[in-house]
């Protein structure tokens, strides 16, 4: 799934795709996350809404710990900022993934993503 998404989505220059591997690990693609470049003109929340209207269910990246309401209510992370995590949360989202996806599903999602984000 991950390799097929990567092949199809490489044309999106304004989108950061997951790494296939690093020096110490290989991606198993349990989720497939995209990070929008700041120049794209909208954030992940808008992209998720736009894609949802086209039948593609997506979800945002996990909220950074310093923005978790329960932790803030407990007095943690007051006046603390973590720009990288905050940017990833604002610009990142997960596209459909899982063992039930077949090539037809991936091709459809890829097509809609290219049409919507290019």
Q: What is the largest CA-CA distance in the chain?
A: 48
Model pLDDT, residue 94:
98
List the domain range (segments joined by +) for residue 105: 2-117
Query: Is the predicted pLDDT of residue 118 greater than 90, yes or no?
Result: no
Q: What is the pLDDT of residues 15-68, one digit of tens each?
A: 999 999 999 999 999 999 999 999 999 999 999 999 999 999 999 999 999 999
CATH number for 38: 3.90.1150.10
Number of domains in the chain: 1
pTM summary value: 0.91
Model pLDDT, residue 98:
87
Tell me if 93 sits within 8 A of 60, measured CB to CB: yes
Tell me if 97 sits within 8 A of 29, measured CB to CB: yes
Distance between CA atoms of residues 62 and 75, nearest Å? 20
Query: Is the predicted pLDDT of residue 6 greater than 90, yes or no?
Result: yes
For the chain, percent of residues with pLDDT exceeding 70:
100
Reported residue count of the chain is 118
């Amino acid at each position: 799934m991950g390799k097929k998404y990567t092949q199809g989505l490489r044309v999106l220059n304004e989108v950061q795709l997951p790494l296939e591997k690093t020096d110490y690990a290989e991606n198993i693609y349990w989720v497939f996350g995209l990070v929008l470049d700041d120049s794209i003109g909208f954030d992940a929340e808008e992209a998720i809404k736009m894609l949802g209207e086209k039948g593609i269910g997506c979800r945002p990246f996990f909220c950074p710990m310093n923005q978790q309401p329960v932790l803030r209510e407990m007095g943690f992370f007051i006046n603390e900022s973590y720009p990288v995590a905050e940017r990833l949360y604002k610009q990142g989202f997960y596209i459909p993934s899982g063992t039930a996806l077949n090539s037809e599903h991936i091709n459809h999602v890829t097509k809609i993503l290219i049409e919507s984000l290019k």
